[in-house]
Structure 1
Amino acid sequence: MHRADHRPSRRTFLDVSSAMVVAGLTAGCTSDSARPGRHAPSAAAAPVPVPATGRHQAGVTLPQPAQRNLLAVVADLAAATAPGPLLAELGQTIRTLVAGTDPRLLGLPPGDLTVTVGVGPRLVRAAGASLPGATDLPRFSRERINPRERGGDLLIQICAGDALLLPVVAAALLDQAGDRIHERWRQSARRGTNVPIGNGLTAPRNPLGFIDGIVGPHTDAEQRRDLWLAGPAAVTGGTLAVLRRMELDLPRFAALSVAGQEAVFGRRRASGVPLSGGTISSGPELGAKTPDGRYLVPADAHVRRANPTVVGAGLMLRRSYSTDGPAPGLLFISFQNDLRTFTATLTHMDASDALLRYTTTTASATFLILPGFDRQHPLGSRLFG
């Protein structure tokens, strides 16, 4: 679902019960970093509630394994709107929605609902020009982006195992915000079933059929190094998010042989094993060659061009979601504690990455995902208090 120019009102959530039946939303929000020893529950298992409060906001690394459904809403603050009081209200509403006590849930159980809130560079700069998250995302090649779908002041990421919750929760939050925000665009998306990748970790397949999210900050040490912000105090415990919505040229990609598709990614489609051999969790041996001198992992393969060691950047918690529309699409979200991790990677990919030949970016934004909150410390209070 993709809708722009939406102005929230109290009528919104009253109309949503019929809208959600028509929409039949299915979307994806699956964490890429399930901890060793944790296994996905069976389809019949009741979802486990996820606390809304804590050091970090839910919806980045928690729950694990994570929900399959996502709705991202990007909005701007109206003129003269103070972000502090608005964010505090949204945080309180998130708490009541997750607890199941908000009547705007229309009787739906919240289950494993999470809501994650981020603020865009304009708001971050107003709080401090040198803060992480104050830099706008640059422009890259293969973009066809409407001005309303580039940037934004506010991100509301809603994830749940029950897809019917997504429009209901969005309507409640937009109703709470009232005329203080104006929606730019929204995107629902979904992910497939997770595939085991070893050491208790799982990753789903992306819309091109390949296992996605094999490489990332999976351990606590990696997450402290590459995912979570360690300072200044106003942002400690937060992270930086990048959203990129793309159209995919699936017919042209599907016309390749399996070997051709594998050369684009640098991994086996069925197993996820690098073309240089090993196991799915093995790092590709980028120097490995055939007897006649050809690289086993082609020079323009995605795993080579996006390799953190080659790029000289940290790890990203990467997620790819399937979207519907006039053309098949993908919603890419990455979390990292340094925006350069993303920008340097995509700059290196822009030069020569075979995967980009099959993508056109139609929306792009970056946000500071605020630190966690609780009753004593409202959402956004350390940045805008």
Structure 2
Amino acid sequence: MHRADRQPSRRAFLDATGATVAAGLLGGCSSGSSQPDRSDPTTAAASTPVPATGRHQAGVTLPHSAQRNLLAVVVDLDTAVAPGPLLAELGEAIHALTAGSDPRLLGLSPGDLTVTVGVGPRLVRTVGAALPGAADLPRFSRERIAPQDRGGDLLIQICADDALLVPVAAAALLDRAGDRVRERWRQYGRRGTEVSIAKGVTAPRNLLGFIDGIVGPHTTAEQERDLWLAGPAAVAGGTLAVLRRMELDLTRFAALSVAEQEAVFGRHRASGVPLSGGTVASGPRLGAKTPDGRYLVPADAHVRRANPTMVGVGLMLRRSYSIDEPVPGVLFISFQNDLRTFTATLTRMDTSDALLPFTTTTASATFLILPGFGQQHPLGSALFG
């Protein structure tokens, strides 16, 4: 049977999408909205569905508390493949999967499944070299990256509380793409236990035992300023993603005393509170000193070196997922509307950040996360239509 004959029809997709767009726009990402208890494994099957359509793609700020499991798949397009039709088909498949109407879900409930699609710099440059997302990531120190693990044409990010959904959805999407794409690399990751850092805002612990992703654009105003692209029209509503897979030297870090570990991060390990005091959600007081003149937050502490006010950039929405294959480490993903937010931060960290010596980057890529899609606007149509 021809591949297209096995898919839900485009008409069915469009008919269903109209209602879902309205639900997605009304649902929003209110920090006060009720969320399932992600610490309870029995809630995975009952997770609240996340609309696939709307102004923004799901999987960035929706759901408000990120799902526990992620699979990032990076692929290249054959040079003869037109991105527009492929992206439109992927959008149809995403809608069918998240709506539960695709038989390739094998009877699984879609739950809070989200799929987020981004396009790499090579594809963006075919439309315009000055567009956001057209620039490649520069190279940084402490990288050991094989050629196939750097860059890529297409990112497919799949997230769900139910770990079974992730590979099933990936297989369905890659089947839809067929031989038009070639896989570069993929990475599974999972988030640690969520810790409350402010009303309606949580962050997980990482493999090093510290709360991860405390600082970020959590309010709607901050997200409009630092996360979402306002223009040009072809990318408005999208954002820029950076992916970095890093090995962690857990053995050497664990050999440090708790006080030494806290000096590396600039926060207390148990609570996440800055070494300068306050609450977990309060910013570190970088000028605060001890009576003998030493900074409470050390000069090379991670929270100082990566602090956006010290770097002179906006906020980035950071997501870290713990990994154990190929070796223990972290898949770091950041979303921002200016690539310099990431590159300037890492450049400053490169000069003196106490955390970096415990890391080695083994994969790296950046993608333009496409604007949201819906009934009248297939995925990618604003850019490749």
Corresponding letter in the other structure for 2:262: E
Verify: 1:304 aligned to 2:304, yes or no. Answer: yes
Task: Output aligned runs, 1:1-385, within 5 Å.
Answer: 35-42=30-37, 43=40, 44-45=42-43, 46-385=46-385
| Mapped partners of 1:34, 1:357: distance in 2 | 37
Relative distance call for 1:118 and 1:285 in structure 2 (3 A) is: same
The superposition leaves residues 197-240 of structure 1 with CA deviations (integer Å, 9 ceiling, x where unpaired) of 12221111111100011100000000000000000000000000
Aligned residue for 2:293, secondary structure, equals coil
Q: Which residue of 1 aligns with 2:8?
A: none
Q: In the aligned structure 1, how far is the partner of 2:207 from the partner of 2:359?
A: 12
Deviation at 1:34, TM superposition (A): 7.6
Which structure 1 residue ranges, 4+ long, deviate > 4 Å from structure 2? none
Deviation of 1:65 after TM superposition, in Å, equals 2.1
Paired with 2:295 and 2:34, the residues of 1 have a C-alpha distance of 36
CA distance in 2, matches of 1:35, 1:249: 37
SS of match in other structure, 1:354: coil
* Structure 1 gap segments, 5+ residues each: 1-8, 11-32
Contact kept? 2:121, 2:366, Cα under 8 Å: yes
Q: How many Å separate the matches in 2 of 1:209 and 1:364?
A: 24
- Report the residue type matching 1:263 in the other structure: A
Q: Give 1:35 deviation, angstroms.
A: 4.6
Tell me the distance in 2 between the aligned counterparts of 1:95 and 1:34: 19
Distance 1:295 1:39 in 2: 40
Shift of 1:109: 1.0
CA distance in 2, matches of 1:139, 1:128: 23
User: How far is 1:327 from its partner?
Assistant: 2.4
Contact preservation (8 Å) 2:36, 2:48:
no
TM-score for the superposition, normalised by structure 2? 0.90
**Deviation digits for residues 75-110 of structure 1 (CA, Å, limit 9, x no counterpart):** 000121000000000000101111111111111111
CA contact (8 A) 2:247 2:328 kept: yes
Is 1:34–1:201's contact at 8 Å kept on the other side of the alignment?
Answer: no
Q: Contact between 2:65 and 2:201, CA under 8 Å: does it hold in 1?
A: no
Contact 2:239 2:370 in 1 (8 A): yes
Identical amino acids, percent of aligned pairs? 80
> Partners in 1 of 2:175 and 2:119 — Cα distance?
19
Distance 1:322 1:108 in 2: 25
Letter in 1 for 2:361: T
The alpha-carbon deviation at position 282 of structure 1 amounts to 1.1
For residues 354 and 35 of structure 1, the distance between their equivalents in structure 2, rounded to whole angstroms, comes to 36
Distance in 2 between residues matched to 1:326 and 1:194, nearest whole Å: 24
Q: Tell me how far 1:37 sits from its aligned partner.
A: 2.7
Q: What is the Cα deviation at residue 344 of structure 1?
A: 0.2
Distance 2:265 2:347 in 1: 17
Task: Supply the AA of the counterpart residue of 1:340.
Answer: R
How many residues are matched?
356
Q: Name the Cα RMSD after superposition.
A: 1.6
**What displacement does 1:375 show?**
2.0
Alpha-carbon distance in structure 2 between the residues aligned to 1:307 and 1:106: 45
CA–CA separation in structure 1 for the residues paired with 2:346 and 2:242:
12
**Structure 1 counterpart SS, 2:95:** helix
Counterpart CA distance in 2 for 1:246 and 1:337 is: 23
CA distance in 2, matches of 1:204, 1:38: 19
Find the aligned partners of 1:114 and 1:327 in 2 and give their Cα distance.
Answer: 26
- The TM-score, its normalising length taken from structure 1, stands at 0.90
